[in-house]
Structure 1
């Protein structure tokens, strides 16, 4: 079989192993542009025409290149709808929601947004305006967003380690926010709360904080999609909470794979592919999504194997550098985990969850352009998947680990 690696694939052949493949049932893909127009015409809550005035300055916050979202098509749908409301293109600023990721280059913006790249500015997390507080934490939003009369956002509702599912208000309050909310939500106090887990939005404290912050930021209309191995599965628009809820249901139905409680594996091979395997920070999601999801299929001493190209090494953003510094200076995973329970800077939370996994399971990254860097970060590096898996192993292959929800056969992971 084939596994994703960068924008291509690699052949996986483990003839001496007992191999099981976890592939979600999926669903029929939709035409993104058509579905976006339909969603905007029948949104959750009032239509855009009742939320915007012809003289309004409009900010549209979009995702960055770490998210596989056709932002050009969603942006095009928004611009068409705004034009019908009397809002001209010159009144629109497109803000790239970077969070703590590196700024996008002009060439990358051109590829991502096509003819609308001239409207885009990279979010600056140091130039923000406070719009209120959640649990005593300041909610700060980038100046172009805070100054806008109407705030719109794109996004993808996909499985998320902490929020349950991403999307909704997250694009604005994290992507176009400051370190304050990221530091609070991604700190050990919040991440250790009951209900903060992959695939859960109901009674999830992390998700609840994002939603309340979104109310303060004045997110007027979200235009989000969800996707699976076969493409985009649905598009929804309107108020951010029901948009996430609707698309999470679509994703959960399409992406869940039941694992019987009696099944335990010696190794799980987790496919990632572009854009998430561009750097180690993002690629490690494959390992943590499996080990810290609803159903960890690994037995004692089980190993996680992540084929990842890593053309950007660890990554160039602030969060990526903090992740790297924490891992490369740690003596071992257990010591790092206990140290980080006392707190850490935003971005380093990925090192915290990786350390949590490494306390129980070895993680091996294969096929990468940066094996030395992988070894620096408490993980193993091997040339190929076959080199990372012992002969005779019982192996579970998850070809699309970031779009697969492993759930207990007795539950749905919600």
Structure 2
């Protein structure tokens, strides 16, 4: 019997007729997050934040949204204390929830995420952006209050990312508080087809390079990021964005890499909360497994993910576009070929899911929205056991979003 995530809990899976291998990364050693954040802010890459601001400055702090498990309340404690050290009053600090094209967070979600700092927070509005420059012919847009700030700070979670290699750094501000032009360009078929755009890679990664250069244009002055693994939060780093990502990606790589064989009939890819609230985020489990450094599946093998899907396909602009593409497609091959010609920002997850579906079945089990799953070229089942053929060779990846298969 194995345990895999389902929402905030786990579900027990018994596969007595199958050969089961579990991919468990080393996990690393957890840290005390408040203490690690304070140390990182006091000893950053580059000058301290208090040395980069002046009394009376307007400061925008871009934080992550509900799709990331970042301890933003704790990180804001450290950042606001450091800003006060530099003479910046809390009243001149604006906290922006970096939504990208995800749905706005509710007041209750904001209070839960930010605690006592919720009163100075607001949702990013992609309709209120200004252009601050251009890269490769793409206008770089940023949320107007962020563009108007004297100093821009961001939090973030440096974790494996399908395109950026690892998330975090300038990405929280550039994508999270950006406009459709930058999101569309970085997540379009031309960018996602470039060599080097892949999970777990930051060096010579065109996506990561674009985001970093856009961060320079936006003026991301200081980052405070964390990274995590199965054991919990593994470290914090602060200062210049590129150095912060490199620092924490190294920690994550050591903690999350697992060597696996290939030829499995099925991979059971755990996702859990908060990602399994909708189908858009849940499919990350499958794409991380299949489109990572090492696909462990045989030809025609399947990926199975238990997920709650309390929000169905998802409620944001990107999630709705994802659902529209998949639910109206005749086949994965036809969808992939059509999307290669271009698509709207936010639809990129449908494109990478189509890539996976050309070679593999995707099953979502235990969900509240099986009809949505079936409408989107995937298979639904009441349980994991019902999605596994007897006699299968199964690889279980309990935390698929935080395991690098190599």
Q: Give the TM-score taking structure 2 as reference length.
A: 0.99
In the other structure, the counterpart of 1:79 is 80
SS at the partner of 1:299?
strand
Give secondary structure in 1 for the equivalent of 2:163. coil
Question: 1:328-347 counterparts in 2 under 5 A?
Answer: 328-347=327-346
Cα displacement (A) at 1:27: 0.7
Q: Deviations along 1:102-137, whole A, 9 cap, x unmatched?
A: 101111111111111000010000101111011110
- Aligned match of 1:265: 264
SS in 1 for 2:259: strand
Shift in Å, 1:285:
0.1
SS in structure 2 of the partner of residue 203 of structure 1: coil
Give the deviation of 1:85 after TM superposition. 1.2
Shift of 1:191: 0.3
Distance between the aligned counterparts of 1:128 and 1:182, measured in 2?
A: 13
Residue 183 of structure 1 is matched in structure 2 by: 184
CA distance in 2, matches of 1:192, 1:146: 31
1:259 match: secondary structure: coil
Aligned positions of 1:64-143 closer than 5 A: 64-143=65-144
In the alignment, the residues of structure 2 paired with residue 60 and residue 255 of structure 1 have an alpha-carbon distance, to the nearest angstrom, of 29
Provide the rounded CA distance (Å) in 2 between the counterparts of 1:388 and 1:226: 33
Deviation at 1:357, TM superposition (A): 0.1
Task: Give runs of ≥4 in structure 1 deviating > 6 Å.
Answer: none
Report the Cα distance in structure 2 between the residues aligned to 1:229 and 1:94, rounded to whole angstroms.
29
Match of residue 150 from structure 1: 151
Partner residue, 2:354: 355
Q: Partner residue of 2:35?
A: 34
Q: CA deviation at 1:8?
A: 1.0
Q: 1:207, CA displacement in angstroms?
A: 0.4
Query: Equivalences for 1:8-407 in 2 at 5 Å?
Result: 8-260=9-261, 263-407=262-406
Q: Unaligned stretches of 5+ in structure 2?
A: none
- Cα distance, 1:301 vs. partner? 1.0
What is the SS of the residue equivalent to 2:198? Answer: coil
In structure 2, how many angstroms separate the alpha carbons of the residues matched to 1:48 and 1:257?
Answer: 37
CA distance in 2, matches of 1:49, 1:16: 61
SS at match of 1:95: strand
SS in 1 for 2:21: strand
Q: Alignment length, in residue pairs?
A: 405
How far the C-alpha of 1:50 sits from its partner, in A, is 1.7
1:83 positional shift: 1.1
What are the ranges of 5 or more consecutive residues in structure 1 without an aligned counterpart? 408-414
* Shift, 1:36, TM fit: 0.5
Residue 410 (structure 1) aligns with: none
Q: CA deviation at 1:94?
A: 0.2
Name the SS of the counterpart of 1:347 in structure 2: coil
Separation of aligned partners in 2, 1:363 and 1:105? 31
Separation in 1, partners of 2:191, 2:18: 40
Q: Deviations over 1:322-364 (max 9, x none)?
A: 0000000000000000000000001110000000000000000
In 2, Cα distance between the equivalents of 1:32 and 1:237? 13
